[in-house]
Structure 1
Amino acid sequence: MKLQDALFNWLQISIVAEARPEDRAAAETKAFFEVILREDHHLTQFGYTADDHVYRVQYKTAEEQRTQQFDRESAEQLLEDIRSNPKYNE
């Protein structure tokens, strides 16, 4: 999996896990992507911030610190899909 895809997937599930702290599957999926970021891409730190338009994922490798931006609407789409599906809101 490419780094940008792994970061985006981690961001989306992090947003879900934060909004739904009781959702064990979201927490487990977030942990899965954190393993991918650490082991496959050798990231030592990662986190995100948001404003009205974008999410910024800051991450660090042994050599450098970088930032990747993602459109806010795209990043929050998984959460919106979950919220709009009655199956997941019982």
Structure 2
Amino acid sequence: MDSIQDAIYNWLTIKVVIDARPDDTAAIETEKMFYDILLEKHNLSNIEVSQDEDMYYVDFDKQGERKKQRFPRELIDVMLNHINQQPEKYRNYPL
């Protein structure tokens, strides 16, 4: 995962799942892994997410500069939609 855009995409996709399923232990572990990549590999800080009806926006600091990336909701919500359509395949298993 060399690009910041790919790293943010992966993190945001699983973050959306956690927001909808806060007790999903697998999602929590995965989100932490992707978040750590953003912090440690890409040196991002002050990561903030906002949204409107069409897009997700991710604002972050990198090397003292504030930056923003945007992603279509339909692209980011794919995983959550899939989980919601087939919940029996995504049961939560406590640690």
Cα RMSD after superposing both structures: 1.2
**Who is 2:42 aligned against?**
41
Residue segments in structure 1 that go unaligned for 5+ positions in a row? none
The correspondence of residues 1-90 of structure 1 with structure 2, limited to 5 A, is 1=1, 2-85=3-86, 86-89=88-91
In the superposition, the TM-score normalised over structure 1's length comes to 0.93
SS of 1:65's equivalent in the other structure is strand
Check conservation: 1:44, 1:62, Cα contact below 8 A: no
Residue segments in structure 2 that go unaligned for 5+ positions in a row? none
| Larger RCO (CA within 8 A; separation ≥ 6) | 2
In the superposition, the TM-score normalised over structure 2's length comes to 0.89
